């Protein structure tokens, strides 16, 4: 028996040492190599709608163009990609470079998990080329994200439906939007085929979208998400009530139906107008003949204070724990370069650089794309109305606000909770989270 | 050292390894215990023990420890005592998720039990159709819950979904189902009932088939009608199988997540936010709060299970 016991003990110890050894050997980040190209681990989601293979194609292009840096791509899915990255970073086994929402996440910034761009080989001349909106990636005086592209909330409208009911141009103000939408809903019902004049994205099958929709309308009413010091939630204000009352009126007046898909309805001709990030154009175009030549983009109808809207999009970030910051920076400057970002416009992504500061050849490319598609004019007009403020506020207590708005904006707008109570609950919930920061 | 193969030769005829050759203290004279037997026992349960300790007990203890910390996975872990518990129990969102879970559980248990029992009784007959019923009712259970959730999401679609289209044939307007705060939770619960009742019907069918026919024959001779037989024979004698079904339904209902996430993501508002959905949404941003919610869920389930076991043992005694 004794030999068996000894064998078992030895086996246990060997297993433990093997586990410990493997754990020690697989530390985070990729090491600099004395010989051959260094390896950069890049984890990404397919960041353009309907272009799942494009990221791999770009990484292959980069690898073919380089002899010193080799990128290993891990493609993740949107449904859990961000969770996997965070878990991997927490475990010290994360990537060197990955994709993050513009505005960046405060948890990463405060924990020092991200490397500032100046540690990645970016110069001031490099970062000065970005639009002022790129300040959404700043924190404590440093820039941590290299924007690949921006998204902005715009309005999509069916040109054929508006013309059918006597409107030659899209609405430009809240009042015009309400009257145009109401007229379409009423007249179409009288004609026997009801078309909803307007649907708020997020009050449909895309619940998460209510966050960007709400923040756009709050902004247009002159509201903000937090106080300037980011310590207090400021939605239960006159601006908040104005925005929510306005949105609610579409449902109480039966102009918009709760639940009808804004996107599907737009494609099928059951919804005349809806707001969302311009990247949704790819989904609209997937409607094929049903929508071909029958739609256009317009800036958001201006509210009582402004025509601003929510900003989105993605940036590249690098891990401060990476052992290959030089290689990571080389790859980031290539993938998020003006040359590449100009290509991304083919996927309806907004060019993040100041056209006056980029290479003339790149400027010509961008100008050519804008000329070829007049919708870019409306998108760039909307971009010019937006500031980094909303996204910088949104960074604080992000998850609490995301959940609280989803729950309370929907309830307030569909009339199942009083507007004051809905806004007060958002402020209380977000306020608690801000207090913990 | 004694080995397993030596033991039988030392036992008196008819004696056992446990009792043979022992003195009044129950110990083998001259020996405190038989280490080889104990070691063999430990070795045989070791794999299961390692799995249980490693994958059940350790995460549970870790979860309890984490529930007293503030941690977002990236920053430092800060001990905050019972703050996470007071935060979730004081916050409306967790209490709403708890209430939603209770409502979902009641609807699911009642709906599934009634449907499963009716199906089991229909299938517990010597008819050709009974075999068909047994097969058909189990079919939904083999569909992954995510797929079932997606299919039902389309069925519930307010404008072009099959359900409202059928209602429209009768000239009525269909409801907004998953977009209506009052109907969303029952609508999701219906999917769980539809998907799972077949499995529970099989368990109840097993219980029904253990009831001797003679009892029904005696009751028929005593002129007991079908309803009286159901109340006085079927239900009481089905109690062990019924108790198992109840506990399984209870655990599965409290852990509901897949169909909620696929169909509504907890919305509209918080109308379908269940406890596990609440935990999931906080898991990577506030591990302490998510862990505290997990501990609360564990305590609730443990309390219900203990009460149920107490009642069962009282009934048996």
What does the pLDDT read at residue A34? 52
Chain A CB within 8 Å of residue B315 CB: no
The verdict on a CB contact (< 8 Å) between A407 and B70 is no
Q: How far apart are CA B162 and CA B164, in angstroms?
A: 6
Task: Please say if the pLDDT value at position A374 is more than 50.
Answer: yes
Best CA proximity match to A318, nearest among A40, A73, A52:
A40
Chain segment B220-252, per-residue pLDDT in tens: 999 999 999 999 999 999 998 998 999 999 999
CA distance A31 to chain B (A): 22
User: Do B181 and B114 belong to one domain?
Assistant: yes
B83 inside domain? no
What does the pLDDT read at residue B33? 55
What does the pLDDT read at residue A399? 85
User: Do B60 and B123 belong to one domain?
Assistant: no
What does the pLDDT read at residue B131? 77
Q: How far apart are CA A274 and CA A154, in angstroms?
A: 9
CA-to-CA separations, A312 to A129, A215, A251, A418, B76, in angstroms, rounded: 19, 12, 27, 30, 29
The verdict on a CB contact (< 8 Å) between B93 and A90 is no
User: Do B154 and B270 belong to one domain?
Assistant: yes
Q: How far is CA A78 from the centre of its chain?
A: 12
Q: How far is CA B294 from the centre of its chain?
A: 16
User: Do B205 and B106 belong to one domain?
Assistant: yes
Count how many domains chain B has. Answer: 2
CA distance B189 to chain A (A): 19
Q: B48: which 2 tokens? A: 């299961």
CA distance B210 to chain A (A): 46
User: Do B200 and B307 belong to one domain?
Assistant: yes
CB atoms within 10 A of CB A12: 10
CA-to-CA separations, A38 to A26, A30, A282, A321, A384, in angstroms, rounded: 16, 8, 36, 16, 40
What does the pLDDT read at residue B173? 85
Q: Which of A283-287, B114-118, B121-125 has the lowest mean pLDDT?
A: B121-125
User: Do B60 and B96 belong to one domain?
Assistant: no
Protein fold of A153-311+387-436: D-Maltodextrin-Binding Protein; domain 2 (3.40.190)
What does the pLDDT read at residue A351? 97
Same fold: A36-151+312-385 with A153-311+387-436: yes
Q: Where are the alpha helices (DSSP H) in A201-280?
A: 210-220, 238-252, 262-268
Burial class of residue A370 in the structure, from the number of CB atoms within 10 Å of its CB (0-12 exposed, 13-18 middle, 19+ buried): middle
Q: How far apart are CA A266 and CA A269, in angstroms?
A: 5
Task: Please say if the pLDDT value at position B7 is more than 50.
Answer: no
What does the pLDDT read at residue B86? 93
User: Do B62 and B95 belong to one domain?
Assistant: no
CA distance B72 to chain A (A): 7
Strands A311-318 and A97-101: antiparallel
Q: How far is CA B16 from the centre of its chain?
A: 40
Task: Please say if the pLDDT value at position A58 is more than 60.
Answer: yes
Chain segment B41-77, per-residue pLDDT in tens: 999 999 999 999 999 899 999 999 999 999 988 888 8
Q: How far apart are CA A414 and CA A144, in angstroms?
A: 39
Q: How far is CA A137 from the centre of its chain?
A: 13
What does the pLDDT read at residue B13? 38
Q: A297: which 2 tokens? A: 């983009």
Residue span of the structural domain in which B46 resides? 4-66
The verdict on a CB contact (< 8 Å) between A1 and B265 is no
Task: Please say if the pLDDT value at position A33 is more than 90.
Answer: no
Chain segment A77-108, per-residue pLDDT in tens: 988 899 999 999 999 999 999 999 999 999 99
User: Do B287 and B185 belong to one domain?
Assistant: yes
**What average pLDDT does the segment A291-313 reach?**
97
The verdict on a CB contact (< 8 Å) between A410 and B269 is yes
Domain ranges of chain A: 36-151+312-385, 153-311+387-436
The pLDDT-based confidence of A10 (bands split at 50, 70, 90) is very low
Task: Measure CB to CB from residue A416 to each of B73, B158, B181 and give the nearest one.
Answer: B181
Q: B242: which 2 tokens? A: 């019924």
What does the pLDDT read at residue B17? 38
What does the pLDDT read at residue B16? 38
The verdict on a CB contact (< 8 Å) between A111 and B75 is yes
Best CA proximity match to A145, nearest among A106, A111, A174, A102:
A102
Chain segment A151-170, per-residue pLDDT in tens: 999 999 999 999 999 999 99
User: Do B311 and B190 belong to one domain?
Assistant: yes
Which of A406-410, B126-130, B257-261 holds the top average pLDDT? Answer: B257-261
Residue A38 pairs in a beta bridge with: A69
The pLDDT-based confidence of B138 (bands split at 50, 70, 90) is confident
Residues 6+ apart with CB under 8 A from B274: B97, B100, B101, B104, B256, B257, B260, B266
When the pLDDT of each residue in chain B is averaged and rounded to a whole number, the result is: 86
Q: B27: which 2 tokens? A: 């110990």
C-alpha R_g of chain A: 25
The verdict on a CB contact (< 8 Å) between A417 and B269 is yes
Task: Please say if the pLDDT value at position A398 is more than 80.
Answer: yes
Residue A69 pairs in a beta bridge with: A38
Task: Measure CB to CB from residue A408 to each of B158, B265, B269 and give the nearest one.
Answer: B269
Q: Can you tell me whether residue B228 is helix, strand or coil?
A: helix
Which is higher by pLDDT, B3 or A101?
Answer: A101
Q: A429: which 2 tokens? A: 């919930």
The pLDDT-based confidence of B5 (bands split at 50, 70, 90) is very low
φ/ψ of residue A99, rounded to 5: -95, 135
The verdict on a CB contact (< 8 Å) between B181 and A414 is yes
When the pLDDT of each residue in chain A is averaged and rounded to a whole number, the result is: 90
What does the pLDDT read at residue A213? 97
User: Do B233 and B272 belong to one domain?
Assistant: yes
What does the pLDDT read at residue A317? 98
The verdict on a CB contact (< 8 Å) between B269 and A399 is no
Q: What percent of chain A has pLDDT over 70?
A: 92
Burial class of residue B291 in the structure, from the number of CB atoms within 10 Å of its CB (0-12 exposed, 13-18 middle, 19+ buried): buried
Q: How far apart are CA B112 and CA A388, in angstroms?
A: 52
What does the pLDDT read at residue A204? 87
CA distance A411 to chain B (A): 6
Q: B212: which 2 tokens? A: 């001797």
Phi-psi region for residue A271, left (φ > 0), alpha (ψ -120 to 50) or beta?
A: beta
Task: Measure CB to CB from residue B265 to each of A207, A432, A436 and give the nearest one.
Answer: A207
Task: Measure CB to CB from residue A407 to each of B73, B270, B283 and give the nearest one.
Answer: B270
Protein fold of A36-151+312-385: D-Maltodextrin-Binding Protein; domain 2 (3.40.190)
Residue A41 pairs in a beta bridge with: A72
A–B CB contacts, 8 A cutoff, strictly below: 92
B164 inside domain? yes
User: Do B28 and B119 belong to one domain?
Assistant: no
Residue A142 pairs in a beta bridge with: A139
Looking at beta carbons, which residues of chain A come within 8 Å of B3? 1
Cβ B314 vs Cβ B106: under 8 Å: no
Q: How far apart are CA B198 and CA A94, in angstroms?
A: 44
Q: How far apart are CA B260 and CA B252, in angstroms?
A: 13
What does the pLDDT read at residue A28? 43
What does the pLDDT read at residue B2? 37
**What average pLDDT does the segment B298-304 reach?**
92
The verdict on a CB contact (< 8 Å) between A407 and B282 is no
Chain segment B31-48, per-residue pLDDT in tens: 555 567 888 999 999 999
Task: Please say if the pLDDT value at position A418 is more than 60.
Answer: yes
The pLDDT-based confidence of A16 (bands split at 50, 70, 90) is very low
Chain A CB within 8 Å of residue B141 CB: no
Burial class of residue B198 in the structure, from the number of CB atoms within 10 Å of its CB (0-12 exposed, 13-18 middle, 19+ buried): buried
Best CA proximity match to B110, nearest among B200, B236, B210:
B200
Query: Please, how many CA atoms are within 13 Å of residue A431, restricted to the half-sphere of its CB?
Result: 12
Chain segment A203-257, per-residue pLDDT in tens: 988 888 999 999 999 999 999 999 999 999 999 999 999 999 999 999 999 999 8
Q: Can you tell me whether residue B161 is helix, strand or coil?
A: coil
Looking at beta carbons, which residues of chain A come within 8 Å of B93? 403-404, 407, 429
Q: Which of B24-38, B103-117, B158-172 has the lowest mean pLDDT?
A: B24-38
Residues 6+ apart with CB under 8 A from B6: none
């Amino acid at each position: 028996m004794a030999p068996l016991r000894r064998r078992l003990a030895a086996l246990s110890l060997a297993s433990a040492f093997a586990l410990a050894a493997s754990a020690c050997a697989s530390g985070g980040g990729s090491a600099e190599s004395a010989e051959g190209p260094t390896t950069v681990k890049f984890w990404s989601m397919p960041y353009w709608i309907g272009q799942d293979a494009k990221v791999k194609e770009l990484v292959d292009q980069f690898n073919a163009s380089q002899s010193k840096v080799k990128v290993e791509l891990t493609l993740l899915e949107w449904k859990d990609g961000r969770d996997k990255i965070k878990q991997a970073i927490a475990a010290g086994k994360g990537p060197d470079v990955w994709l993050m929402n513009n505005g960046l996440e405060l948890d990463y910034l405060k924990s020092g998990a991200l490397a500032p761009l100046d540690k990645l080989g970016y110069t001031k001349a490099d970062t000065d080329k970005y639009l002022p909106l790129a300040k959404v990636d700043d924190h404590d005086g440093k820039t941590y994200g290299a924007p690949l592209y921006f998204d902005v909330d715009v309005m999509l409208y069916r040109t054929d439906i508006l013309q059918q009911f006597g409107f030659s141009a899209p609405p430009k103000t809240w009042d015009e939007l309400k009257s145009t939408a109401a007229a379409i809903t009423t007249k179409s019902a009288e004609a026997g085929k009801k078309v909803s004049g307007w649907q708020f994205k997020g009050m449909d099958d895309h619940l998460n979208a209510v966050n960007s929709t709400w923040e756009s309308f709050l902004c247009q009413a002159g509201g903000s998400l937090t106080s300037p010091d980011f310590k207090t939630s400021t939605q239960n204000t006159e601006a908040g009530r104005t925005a929510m009352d306005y949105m609610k009126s579409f449902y109480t007046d039966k102009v918009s139906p709760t639940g009808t898909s804004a996107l599907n309805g737009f494609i099928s001709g059951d919804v005349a107008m809806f707001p969302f990030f311009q990247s949704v154009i790819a989904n609209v175009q997937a409607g094929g003949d049903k929508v071909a030549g029958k739609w256009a983009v317009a800036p958001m109808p201006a509210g009582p204070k402004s025509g601003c809207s929510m900003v989105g999009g993605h940036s590249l970030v690098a891990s401060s724990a990476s052992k290959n910051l030089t290689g990571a920076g080389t790859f980031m400057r290539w993938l998020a370069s003006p040359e590449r970002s100009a290509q991304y416009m083919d996927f309806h992504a907004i060019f993040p650089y100041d056209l006056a500061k980029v290479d003339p050849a790149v400027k010509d490319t961008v100008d050519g794309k804008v000329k070829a598609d007049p919708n870019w004019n409306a998108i760039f007009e909307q971009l010019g109305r937006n500031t980094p403020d909303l996204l910088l506020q949104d960074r604080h207590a992000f998850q609490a606000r995301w959940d609280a708005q989803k729950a309370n904006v929907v309830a307030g707008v569909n009339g199942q909770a009083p507007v004051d109570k809905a806004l007060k609950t958002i402020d209380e919930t977000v306020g608690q989270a801000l207090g913990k920061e | 050292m004694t080995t397993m193969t030596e033991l039988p030769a030392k036992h008196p005829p008819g004696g056992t390894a446990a009792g043979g050759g022992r003195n009044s203290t129950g110990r083998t004279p001259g020996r405190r215990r038989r280490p080889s037997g104990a070691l063999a026992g430990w070795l045989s349960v070791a794999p299961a023990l390692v799995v249980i300790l490693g994958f059940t007990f350790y995460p549970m203890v870790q979860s309890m420890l984490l529930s007293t910390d503030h941690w977002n996975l990236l920053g430092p872990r800060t001990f905050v005592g019972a703050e996470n518990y007071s935060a979730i129990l004081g916050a409306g969102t967790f209490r709403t998720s708890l209430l939603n879970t209770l409502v979902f559980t009641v609807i699911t248990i009642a709906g599934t039990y009634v449907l499963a029992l009716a199906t089991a009784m229909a299938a517990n007959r010597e008819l050709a159709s009974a075999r068909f019923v047994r097969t058909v009712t189990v079919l939904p259970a083999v569909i992954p819950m995510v797929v079932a959730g997606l299919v039902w999401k389309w069925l519930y679609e307010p404008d072009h979904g099959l359900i409202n289209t059928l209602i429209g044939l009768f000239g009525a307007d269909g409801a907004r189902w998953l977009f209506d705060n009052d109907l969303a939770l029952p609508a999701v619960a219906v999917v769980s009932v539809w998907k799972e009742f077949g499995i529970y019907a099989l368990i109840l069918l097993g219980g029904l088939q253990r009831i001797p026919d003679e009892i029904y024959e005696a009751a028929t001779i005593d002129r007991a009608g079908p309803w009286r037989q159901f109340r006085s024979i079927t239900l009481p004698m089905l109690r062990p199988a019924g108790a198992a079904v109840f506990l399984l339904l209870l655990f599965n209902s409290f852990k509901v997540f897949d169909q909620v996430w696929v169909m509504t993501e907890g919305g509209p508002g918080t109308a379908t936010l269940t406890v596990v959905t609440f935990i999931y949404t906080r898991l990577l941003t506030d591990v302490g709060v998510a862990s505290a919610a997990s501990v609360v869920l564990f305590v609730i389930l443990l309390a219900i299970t203990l009460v149920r076991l107490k009642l069962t043992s009282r009934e048996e005694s």
